Amino acid sequence: MKFSVNQKDLQESLNFCQNVIERRSTLPILSNVLLEAKNQELVITATDLDMIFIHRINNIEIEKEGKTTTNSLIMYDIVRKFSSGKKINIESISESKIQLESEKSKFKLNCIDAQEFPLMDDNFEGEEIELSSQQFLKLLNKCKFSISNDETRHYLSGIFFHHTSGDEKNYLTAASTDSHRMSISKMRLESPIKFEPIILPKKTIFHLCSILENYSNKIKISNSKSKIKVLLENSVLISKVIDGKFPNYVQVVPKNNNKKLEADLEIFKNCVDRVASVSTDKKDGVKFNMSKDKLDLSVNNTQSGDGKESLSVKFEHELDISFNSKYLIDVASQLEGEKIEIYFNDTASPALIKDPGDFDSIFVIMPMKG
């Protein structure tokens, strides 16, 4: 195997692979990427056995076709330190070594035979649907922060996706919850789709966010009960899905929250962020003391001190309630309008948060006790 590739192209591809590779794997081959030079393109593959990512770099100069595997992190660390945009020459110099050369730098890296690299079956019988990549990314971002980290309830360790419809419109709807907060968002579809309800794992979600961040073309998705395939212009992601039943999240959405607070989004977010700075303990909630058209925020920590903020809002009631400040900031950071609306019932009931200009997303946050 012998070929030349642009440094920026190779760095981007290897950077994507870092989100897939298991750093502490007991199988050395899973720390490697598969490099295959053929048909004037370099195909780079990374896997952790649950997810496989394949990226193609087109129009490279190939002197001799071939394939091998080498350590992903080491190769990435070297490539990113080469001069940006310069040519990198890569060559197999033996069955167990490849050589990387750029300008006056030369490295020899250990290899493992490509035949040992595990691949995943990419055969899907389901219907392929085409989506806007940026709309899908927005869907992921609005739900990913509510994913649970509790491994004992594995069915909450991802985002639940399913097809919904209403008012003669079709949606791909996403939901996530860690039992303290919940995110629900949906993207509109041009027509009905056959989409198997799935729970996509957290690691897959964050990898998708990474590869879609600077991608503007359409994506194609096909899925089954056990896996999903996401097709981009030069990349393919195949992932297993979580085996489990997601709870009926619709039942959790508050129905009787009639006390509406409306505030300027940026002012509200900044006030919560500032007042929460007085404490590093997540158990110290931000206390809301609400009266007519006024919101007083306060945090009190016996070791570090206390903080207070006041802001003008639209509110017609009186209510005291406390929330985890991070949960509030996470939600506020995903709202795109100028205002935030929070609907309350009483001190012990969850709050419903909306962006008044976004009819496709809602957020629920449980209050803190005490």
What's residue 168's pLDDT? Answer: 85
268 shares a domain with 197: no
Instruction: Confirm whether 142 is domain-assigned.
Output: yes
326 shares a domain with 266: yes
What's residue 353's pLDDT? Answer: 98
Taking alpha carbons only, the member of 243, 199, 196, 244 closest to residue 221 is: 196
CATH for 232:
3.10.150.10
333 shares a domain with 261: yes
What's residue 370's pLDDT? Answer: 61
| Token digits of residue 222 | 């096909």
* Domain C-terminal end among 212, 234, 251: 251
Distance CA 19, CA 21 (A): 6
* Domain C-terminal end among 251, 267, 299: 251
144 shares a domain with 111: no
Residues of the chain with pLDDT under 70: 282, 370
Instruction: Confirm whether 124 is domain-assigned.
Output: no
DSSP state string for 29-92: GGGEEEEEEETTEEEEEEE-SSEEEEEEEES-EEEE-EEEEEEHHHHHHHHTTSPTT-EEEEEE
* Domain C-terminal end among 116, 138, 160: 116
244 shares a domain with 268: no
Structural domains counted in the chain: 3
Distance CA 109, CA 72 (A): 11
259 shares a domain with 241: no
258 shares a domain with 238: no
Instruction: Confirm whether 99 is domain-assigned.
Output: yes
Taking alpha carbons only, the member of 295, 307, 310 closest to residue 351 is: 295
328 shares a domain with 257: yes
350 shares a domain with 274: yes
Instruction: Confirm whether 121 is domain-assigned.
Output: no
Is residue 207 classed as helix, strand or coil in its secondary structure?
helix
231 shares a domain with 217: yes
Instruction: Confirm whether 68 is domain-assigned.
Output: yes
What's residue 263's pLDDT? Answer: 98
Instruction: Confirm whether 330 is domain-assigned.
Output: yes
213 shares a domain with 112: no
Instruction: Confirm whether 329 is domain-assigned.
Output: yes
What's residue 302's pLDDT? Answer: 82
> What is the reported pTM?
0.93
Domain hosting residue 348, numbered range: 253-365
Q: What pairs with residue 67 in β-bridges?
A: 36
- Please give the distance of CA 81 from its chain centroid, rounded to a whole number: 27
What's residue 59's pLDDT? Answer: 85
What's residue 123's pLDDT? Answer: 74
Dump pLDDT digits (tens) for 238-295: 999 999 999 999 999 999 999 999 999 999 999 999 999 998 876 779 999 999 999 9
Dump pLDDT digits (tens) for 161-201: 999 988 889 999 999 999 999 999 999 998 888 888 999 99
What's residue 225's pLDDT? Answer: 82
13 shares a domain with 29: yes
Instruction: Confirm whether 264 is domain-assigned.
Output: yes
